[in-house]
Every structure is written in C-alpha cells, then in structure tokens.
Amino acid sequence: MNSVGEACTDMKREYDQCFNRWFAEKFLKGEGSGDPCTDLFKRYQQCVQKAIKEKEIPIEGLEFMGHGKEKPENSS
Amino acid sequence: MGRAQRRGGQRGASWTPHFLHLLFHSHPWDTVIKAAMRKYPNPMNPSVVGVDVLERAVDCRGRLHSLRLLSTEWGLPGLVTTILGTSRTLTYIKERSVVDPLEKKMELCSTNITLRNLVSVNERLVYAPHPEHPEKTVLTQEAVISVEGTGLGRYLESLMASTISSNARKGWAAIEWVIQHSDSTVS
C-alpha cells in the first residue's frame, strides 16, 4: 500500500510492519502499554505532513486526543 | 452473510442511517480486527490507492485511537470531472477508529474531506463478538449520504447510493480475503 506522499511509502511500510506486530502480539493481548514504534512513526509523520501540505489536502483542524482535546465518551 | 436495509431519514445534526448493513464473519473478534487493521490493499477495494496514519495514541482506558487518511481513485466519468473543473480524480477520506481490547469492540467512522461542497458520505462500522456465538464477529455498518444542492450533487448521490450496498459486501469480502491470506509473520 502506498502513502499519499510518494517519498513516504518506504517509511510507511516500515512503520506499518512494526505497528501490526505490536498490535497483534501485544495490544490485543492486553499488553499495550509500551510502544516500540514511536521513532518510526515520528519520521513517517514528518514526511506525511509535508506531503499533505504540498498536495493541499484539506485535513486541517485535526481534533484528536494527541492535540490536547479530550475525546468525548463514545455513546455506544 | 448478513442482511441490509435502506431507509430514509431526516438530514441535519442527528445521525440517521440511510443504509444499514448487518454482516457476520465466522471468525473470532481478534482475527477480524487484525485483518481490519491490514485491510488495504485488497482486490475488492482497488479504488483505495493510499493509506496513511496521521495520528495514533492509546488513551487512559487502554483504547487505541487512530486517525487515517485514505486516498481513493474512483475513476469518475470524464463528464463529471469536466463539470467539476478538475483533472484530479483522487478523493480523500478521513477515518477515525477506536479499538477497545477489553470490551472487544472496534468502531470506525469515516467521511470524505473532498467534494464536500457537493456530497458527504459518512460511514460507521462497529465490530463486536457475536453475542451468542463468540467464535463469530458481528459487523454493523451504517452510511449516511448528504447532498448539497441539486444537479451534479444528485447525480453523485445516486452514484454513491448504488455502490454503498455493494461496497459493504466488498468490505466484508475484503476482510475475509485478508484473513485467508495472512501468514504467520504479521506485515
């Protein structure tokens, strides 16, 4: 699978491999406290944010827990 | 595999499903969720040409939140792209998901972030263990289409309406395909 930024595809695949392994072997088994993919994610993110700006993709105004806004409780 | 229904509803601030699908996977929840995380690429969804994770974090209750950007190439008819005045046929979808490993529930919400001046397609998927058969998984999939204006918007609505139902089944088939084709090393 490709990234929205052509230059980011290799980083994306490396991150995805790390994440999918952690997700299946740790997170789903209730051991999700650590995150071995942080560095990979940071590098990948920098590339993607640049690509989004260059392609003028309208994804501004991210409302996400990582941006300091508390996610509301899911109603269901 | 499941059942589907279509009903009308008010547009506006309240969530009113226009399309509702109830689908079943004969696999346990963990297996389905692992496949859902690795859904793309798959042969049933060739229009998804790019997937990126924009944000991801675990909250204080141990739930994994993700925000993803999907790039889709619908191959819009030439007439449509002429009217839209663009040669760009890539559209983008924003997808949020929450995975609760304790409650065994995965919820995904997606909406298009391009073409919004014409149409918005909001979808919500919830994966949970079958209440009576824990070796199976239930998928509840809802979609709401909201159209702005008339003309091209109406055309896009009818185009999307005819594909939403088949896409729900394609999505189901995509998960089944990922499950069948996953090997022991997760990638």
Classify residue B104 as left (phi > 0), alpha (psi -120 to 50) or beta: left
The verdict on a CB contact (< 8 Å) between A65 and B65 is yes
ipTM for the predicted complex? 0.81
For position B20, what pLDDT does the model report? 86
Across-strand partners of B125? B108, B141
Would you state the structure tokens that stand for residue B122, as one six-digit string?
A: 């909001």
Q: What span, in angstroms and rounded, lies between the C-alpha atoms of A60 and B31?
A: 34
Written as tens digits, the pLDDT of chain A (76 aa) is 899 999 999 999 999 999 999 999 999 999 888 889 999 999 999 999 999 999 889 886 554 544 433 334 443 3
Q: What is the pTM of this model?
A: 0.81
User: Looking at beta carbons, which residues of chain B come within 8 Å of A25?
Assistant: 186
Q: What is the DSSP letter of A69?
A: P
3-state secondary structure of B47: coil
For position A60, what pLDDT does the model report? 67
The verdict on a CB contact (< 8 Å) between B71 and A15 is no
What's the average pLDDT block by block, 10 residues per block, for chain B (187 residues)? 54 53 94 96 89 94 96 73 67 95 96 83 94 95 78 68 78 94 59
The verdict on a CB contact (< 8 Å) between B69 and A4 is yes
User: Looking at beta carbons, which residues of chain A come within 8 Å of B52?
Assistant: 3-5, 8, 12, 48
Angle ∠(B76,B173,B140) on CA atoms, nearest 5 = 95
User: Mind giving me the DSSP string for B56-99?
Assistant: EEE-TTSPEEEEEEEEEE----HHHHHHHT-S--EEEEEEEEEE
Per-residue pLDDT tens for B126-181? 999 999 999 999 999 998 887 766 566 667 667 766 677 788 888 999 999 999 99
Q: Do the Cβ atoms of B186 and B34 come closer than 8 Å? A: yes
